């Protein structure tokens, strides 16, 4: 199992890195070259840089990810593709994308895009808070724990 982060605008990179190190799970941060850094990489964390194109990070994550990997993204399109691939997909605001909620999320994104296209103003996302960060941390820890138990049970059967 690996954790992939759609990292260009992710406010939870530090949380993911911290939790993953505790659980000894490798992390891959995927971001555009426009966010390039000479900072030393953290142990257990790999950074993959991609072109600055609109969906370059999404395409790279889908190339790298395997079934049962965890993907952190706020992009509903990437979430939909990752779910279809058998990945566990989390949003930084502390909710999991599922086959039950992805259609509604995609529909609301489409409706907002059509409203903007017709000249209407739509609200942007609410500011990311410390409470959101803690909710995400709890979700990530719970997801990893449940996933490890599921894998363990699959090997026992």
Q: What is the DSSP string of 66-135?
A: -TT-EEE-S-HHHHHHHHHTT-EEEETTTEEE-TTTHHHHHHHHHHHHHHHHTT-----PPPP-HHHHHH
Residue keyed to tokens 């257990």: 44
Give the pLDDT confidence of 78-109 residue by residue, as tens digits. Answer: 999 999 999 999 999 999 999 888 878 777 86
Contacts of range 123-132, beta carbons closer than 8 Å, 24 or more positions apart: 128/11, 128/92, 128/93, 132/92, 132/93, 132/94
Q: Indicate yes or no: pTM above 0.85.
A: no
Interior CA angle at 134 toward 61 and 7, to 5°? 20
Average pLDDT over the chain, rounded to an integer: 86
CB of 17 within 8 A of CB of 45?
yes
pLDDT at 156: 43
By the 8 A CB rule, do 31 and 7 touch? yes
pLDDT (tens digit per residue) in 43-61: 889 999 999 877 899 999 9
Fold entry, domain 3-156? Rossmann fold (3.40.50)
């Amino acid at each position: 199992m690996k954790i992939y982060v759609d990292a260009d605008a992710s406010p939870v990179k530090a949380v993911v890195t911290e939790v993953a190190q505790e659980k000894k799970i490798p992390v891959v941060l995927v971001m555009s070259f426009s966010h390039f850094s000479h900072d030393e990489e953290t142990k257990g964390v790999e950074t993959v840089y991609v072109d600055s194109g609109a969906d370059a990070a999404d395409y790279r994550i889908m190339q790298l990810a395997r079934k049962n990997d965890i993907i952190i993204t706020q992009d509903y399109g990437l979430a939909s593709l990752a779910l279809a691939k058998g990945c566990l997909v989390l949003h930084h605001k502390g909710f999991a994308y599922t086959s039950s909620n992805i259609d509604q999320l995609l529909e609301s994104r489409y409706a907002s895009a059509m409203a903007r296209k017709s000249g209407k103003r739509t609200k942007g996302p609410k500011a990311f808070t410390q409470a959101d960060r803690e909710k995400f941390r709890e979700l990530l820890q719970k997801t990893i724990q449940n996933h490890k138990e599921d894998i363990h049970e699959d090997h026992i059967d």
